[in-house]
Amino acid sequence: MWDKPLVEPHFDNSTKTTVVAGLGQTAELHCRVNHLGDRAVTWLRRHDVHVLTVGLFPYTTDDRFSAHRSEDSDEWTLRIASVKVGDSGIYECQVSTEPKISKSFRLQVIVSQAHIDGPKEIHMVSGSNINLTCTVTGNPDPPQYIYWSMGSIIINYSSRGGISIVTDKKSRTSRLVVTRATIADSGNYTCAPANAEPATVSVYILNGEHPEAMQGGESTGAHCQSLILLIVLGILAMNYGGFAIR
């Protein structure tokens, strides 16, 4: 019957040939073959021509790769668990006809990244509110969770009062507010979403009697320059006074 074109195995082109997955997620490539008959479906990786599965049987020692097919289904799925950046590339779904036929699929693994708005170092006086907003970019799917930590302490489960965390998975943002911050609230604040690189900022809480320190490095440098200028002017004034006495 394989001499009849209408019943020869052929690929169904309704499935996606490009799949984008975030680092650490599970990626699935779906190959649909009509009129497969007793032919076998093989998945292989193109860049090293490595056979991954034949039928439903694995042909690789990397157990992240597996083949799946529902009963009475024409769809043969290559599943890759915990994808790595190195898994990106072209995969082929091959049917053991004579000659063989194959269909290519492209997998792109992207690294999702968290970003905290504002500078990497924040200086403020005690009694102020710490207000941090974290945004997750690069992942095609929203993160399942976003954790905030200060040092080794998970803020989401902290017993300290005056803490508010509002996370919007749809917009991939999370906002942390710590009210009436004290010196004890100084530290490194980290936003850690699921399957994404975390982001960290350093927060320094200072006593209220030194408000000039709030401005950070640039303004503190300007303050030092002003102090040096005053000292120089004082020395000149003393010298000028000495000349006047003579």
Amino acid at 47: H
The whole-number pLDDT of residue 194 equals 87
Alpha helices in the chain (DSSP H): 216-245
The whole-number pLDDT of residue 243 equals 37
Average pLDDT along the chain, 246 residues, taken 10 residues at a time: 65 93 92 93 96 95 95 93 96 94 96 94 96 92 91 90 93 96 96 92 83 40 49 53 40
**Separation between Cα atoms, residue 12 and residue 23, nearest integer Å:** 29
The whole-number pLDDT of residue 82 equals 94
Query: Is residue 96 classed exposed, middle or buried when 0-12, 13-18 and 19+ CB atoms within 10 A define those classes?
Result: middle
**Separation between Cα atoms, residue 158 and residue 55, nearest integer Å:** 50
Dmax over CA atoms of the chain, in Å, equals: 122
Q: Where in the chain is the domain with CATH 2.60.40.10?
A: 5-110, 113-209
Q: What is the third-level CATH fold of 113-209?
A: Immunoglobulin-like (2.60.40)
Architecture of domain 5-110: Sandwich (2.60)
* Residues composing the chain: 246
Q: In what order do the strands lie in the sheet with 10-11?
A: 10-11, 27-34, 75-80, 65-68
**Any idea which residue has 């090293």 for tokens?**
48
**Separation between Cα atoms, residue 189 and residue 43, nearest integer Å:** 44
Query: Is residue 164 classed exposed, middle or buried when 0-12, 13-18 and 19+ CB atoms within 10 A define those classes?
Result: exposed
